[in-house]
Amino acid sequence: MTPIYLDYNATTPVLPAVLDAMLPFLRAEFGNPSSAHAFGRRAKDAVGTARAQVATLIGAAPDEIVFTSGGTEASNLAIRGTAHRGTGKLPIVTSNIEHPATDAPCELLAQQGYPLKRIKARPDGIIDIDEAAAAIRAGAGLVTIIHAQNEIGTLQPVAEVAALAHEQGALIHVDAAQSVGKVRVDVKSMGVDLLSIAGHKLYAPKGVGALYIRRGVALEPLLRGAGQESGRRPGTENVPYLVGLGEACRLAAVRLQDGRHEIESLANELLDRLRREVPGIVLVGHATERLANTLNILFPGVSGRQLLEACPRVLASTGSACHADREEASSILRALDIPEEQALGAVRLSLGVPTTRQDVEEAASALAAAWRMITGNSASVAKRSTAPV
């Protein structure tokens, strides 16, 4: 049977319009943007258009966008580049539910002597703002926080945290890899200084991303070279992929402008169906302050990996894709104080633009059938029960 893909937080397909925009620059338009001839000028213009499209999606100016190889490089450039921009080792404040692209460079800096503080998230997946205020006011040079948590979908109060950071003269970096294109992101209203984007989370190819750097913010580049991207990220531009990222951002802006809520409706239907079929399931994270497409569900009496292996038609994740090869509870769920045995039952179901109502109906039925097979629960009992979350 046709697989049902519900792992859009891990990666998205390249939309047809994105591929169509890229193809000329993989064929005839192969010029180097640094070349002075016609091929080079057309490539440079294409990069400029892409830069403007990315900037428009997040309310930035084109010259505030630096292209990278993806969200991980963007976050490393923001965090390590900011830390190394001057003398002294100013404290870094982050949370305990960050993506490895943030957590690992923060840990690296801690090993180099930078004071590091981690704000604890509440059980609903949102950081404690009072704890954040105390940590920042105790001293901070950089605050770095995820906008939409990639495993559970919760949205953090970025604007409040940014205001606290700026009160202390600190910069704030936001990992928006999961949120850009799904919810409105405006760097000015959020008050952020740096913001990471990953192309493959919003229907562009893998291997391309961007970093928003507010005008006036200085950082030390990670790479040295010929000076592309105003010297902040040298190297010959990957023109086809930048064009694809720009087109993906343009399409995302159109979707957000339309204000349609198909994904939210489908996600709610999927959750409702699973609640009817599987007694005792738990939805992780805040009920409303979350990405509409993301459901992190704890299935009782099974491990998430066991459930997905018994239901091969549904392509989903047991947590972050970065940890998908381990049979252990997600560190994010453990950070929310979810007991290990319960956290092992986690399955992350994330919907995308191509998801249909039929996908939702058939995925719910298949997952419920696999759960009943593993646990020995009868279909009649499951259908009579509705689990509160």
List of long-range contacts for 132-136, beta carbons under 8 Å, 24+ apart: 132/93, 132/160, 132/161, 132/164, 133/164, 135/93, 136/93, 136/161, 136/164, 136/165, 136/167, 136/168, 136/170
The whole-number average pLDDT for the span 251-275 is: 92
Please state, rounded to an integer, the average pLDDT across all residues of the chain: 94
Which pLDDT value is given to residue 110? 97
Q: State both tokens at 358.
A: 């039929």
Q: pLDDT, tens digit, for every residue of 10-65?
A: 999 999 999 999 999 999 999 999 999 999 999 999 999 999 999 999 999 999 99
The whole-number average pLDDT for the span 365-377 is: 95
Q: pLDDT, tens digit, for every residue of 155-187?
A: 999 999 999 999 999 999 999 999 999 999 999
258 confidence band (pLDDT: 50, 70, 90) = confident
Q: Which CATH architecture has domain 16-256?
A: 3-Layer(aba) Sandwich (3.40)
Q: pLDDT, tens digit, for every residue of 288-324?
A: 999 999 999 999 999 999 999 999 999 999 964 444 5
Q: Give the CA dihedral 314, 315, 319, 320, nearest 10 degrees.
A: -170
Q: Give the CA dihedral 195, 123, 314, 344, nearest 10 degrees.
A: 120
List of long-range contacts for 104-113, beta carbons under 8 Å, 24+ apart: 105/75, 105/76, 105/79, 105/80, 106/79, 106/144, 108/80, 109/79, 109/80, 109/83, 113/89
Which pLDDT value is given to residue 319? 63
Write the CB contacts of 80 (distance below 8 Å, at least 6 apart in sequence): 105, 108, 109, 220, 222
Taking the CA atoms of the chain, what radius of gyration do you get in angstroms?
A: 22
Which pLDDT value is given to residue 328? 82
C-beta of residue 237 within 8 angstroms of C-beta of residue 325: no
Q: Beta strands 209-213 and 282-283: pairing type?
A: unpaired
Which pLDDT value is given to residue 379? 53
- Classify 261-384 by CATH class: alpha beta
List the single range of 204-218, 254-268, 346-360 with lowest mean pLDDT. 254-268
Which pLDDT value is given to residue 325? 58
Collapsed DSSP state (helix, strand, coil) of residue 4: strand
Which pLDDT value is given to residue 334? 94
Distance of CA 103 to the CA centre of its chain: 14
Q: pLDDT, tens digit, for every residue of 325-342?
A: 557 889 999 999 999 999
With a pLDDT cut of 90, the percent of the chain lying above it is 90
Collapsed DSSP state (helix, strand, coil) of residue 140: coil
The whole-number average pLDDT for the span 110-138 is: 97
* Annotation says 322 is catalytic: yes
The whole-number average pLDDT for the span 219-241 is: 95
Q: pLDDT, tens digit, for every residue of 280-290?
A: 999 999 999 99
Which pLDDT value is given to residue 49? 98
Q: State both tokens at 103.
A: 């957590």
- Listed in sequence order, the DSSP H helices in 84-232 are 100-111, 129-137, 158-167, 187-190
Delimiting residues of CATH 3.90.1150.10 domain(s) in the chain: 261-384
Task: Count other Cβ atoms within 10 Å, centred on residue 381.
Answer: 10
Which pLDDT value is given to residue 377? 81
C-beta of residue 205 within 8 angstroms of C-beta of residue 244: yes
For 260-308, the DSSP string reads --HHHHHHHHHHHHHHHHSTT-EE-S-SSSB-TTEEEEE-TTS-HHHHH
Choose among 312, 332, 314: nearest CA to 322: 332
Question: Which one of 106, 249, 311, 322 is the catalytic residue?
Answer: 322
What predicted TM-score, i.e. pTM, was given to this entire model? Answer: 0.94
| 383 has a pLDDT exceeding 70 | no
The whole-number average pLDDT for the span 190-205 is: 98
For 173-206, the DSSP string reads EEE-TTTBTTB---HHHHT-SEEEEEGGGTTS-T
Q: ∠274-288-383 over CA atoms, to 5°?
A: 15
Which pLDDT value is given to residue 386? 39
Q: Is the dihedral of CA 298, 300, 305, 308 positive or negative?
A: negative
Delimiting residues of CATH 3.40.640.10 domain(s) in the chain: 16-256
